[in-house]
Chains A and B, each alone.
Chain A
Amino acid sequence: AQKVTQTQTSISVMEKTTVTMDCVYETRDSSYFLFWYKQTASGEIVFLIRQDSYKKENATEGHYSLNFQKPKSSIGLIITATQIEDSAVYFCAMRERNNNNAPRFGAGTKLSVKP
């Protein structure tokens, strides 16, 4: 069964530092897709970055990057040079390739970036 777990409920960091948010997943599928989304205080949810399970190279997108550890079923989101505007809730999601089910989401991690 698909399952996504984010154990960090909230994280607080100082501006301009680097933060890592954890996410672990469970799947029986050999091929799957991992996504990170950001939900701002206004409620808007936007896609940030994805990792395809068959790709060994960690995905990067601007100041977001991923730490994909397939043997550990782990996909961490790394934000470098954090800004106040990065304060939000971050969701991890997984979608199996050989399954007609919707993506599964973690519970989210609330990030607070302080000046």
Chain B
Amino acid sequence: DAGVTQTPRHEVAEKGQTIILKCEPVSGHNDLFWYRQTKIQGLELLSYFRSKSLMEDGGAFKDRFKAEMLNSSFSTLKIQPTEPKDSAVYLCASSLSGFAEQFFGPGTRLTVL
């Protein structure tokens, strides 16, 4: 079975650009999560979807971050406009249900100049 896939693996953006990160969860999983990981802040939740419905939004990220589930097998995270402080690794994860463990993708490393 394919795990969680994320594209691109690396992204370099100029300040003010719009970037879109993509994620495909494990087939059949109902829950999808977007996290941002930095050394200082650790793992921060950006968005959580259950069966395509938004269940939780990371409060600090509502301004310029927008995650969507276009269908049950594809999600995007849009950052608009990007700022240098957005430089981080963005992780997508999925789980079968609310009680199950999460499967993480390899992440997208974003650098904003």
A residues lining the B interface (CB < 8 Å): 33, 35, 37, 43-47, 50, 52, 91, 93, 95, 97, 100-103, 105, 107-108
Residues of chain B in range 54-113 having any CB-CB distance to chain A below 8 Å = 55-56, 89, 91, 93, 98-99, 101-104, 106-107
Known A37-B104, A45-B91, A101-B48; 9 more pairs at CB < 8 Å: A35-B102, A43-B107, A44-B104, A44-B106, A47-B102, A91-B43, A95-B98, A95-B99, A102-B33
CB distance from A36 to the nearest CB of B (A): 10
- Chain A nearest CB, measured from B95 CB (Å): 9
A43-B107, A45-B91, A102-B33 known; A97 and B42 CB under 8 Å? no
B42-A103 in contact (CB<8A): no
Q: What separation, in Å, do the CA atoms of A93 and B101 have in the docked complex?
A: 10
Chain A residues with Cβ below 8 Å from B48 are: 101-102
A91 to B99, CA, bound (A): 17
Q: Give B contacts to A, CB under 8 Å.
A: 33, 42-43, 45, 48, 50, 55-56, 89, 91, 93, 98-99, 101-104, 106-107
Complex-state Cα separation, A103 to B43, whole angstroms: 11
- Please tell me if the beta carbons of B106 and A105 are within 8 angstroms of each other in the complex: no
DSSP class of B's interface residues: helix, strand, loop or mixed?
strand
Q: Are B43 and A105 in contact (CB under 8 A)?
A: yes
Q: Please determine whether A47 and B103 come into contact, CB atoms closer than 8 angstroms.
A: yes
Contact A105 B42, beta carbon cutoff 8 Å: yes
Q: Is the CB of B104 within 8 A of A97?
A: no
Top 8 closest A-B pairs, CB basis?
A102-B48, A45-B104, A47-B101, A105-B43, A107-B42, A100-B55, A102-B45, A101-B56
Closest beta carbon of chain A to B36's beta carbon, Å = 12
Most buried by A among B43, B89, B99: B43
Q: Which residue of B lies closest to A97 (CB)?
A: B99
| Complex contacts, A107 vs chain B, CB 8 Å | 42
**Contact sample, A vs B, 8 pairs, CB 8 Å cutoff:** A33-B99, A45-B93, A45-B104, A93-B102, A100-B56, A102-B48, A103-B102, A108-B43
- CB-defined contacts of B43 to chain A, threshold 8 Å: 91, 105, 108
Given A44-B106, A50-B101, A102-B33, CB of A108 within 8 Å of CB of B55: no
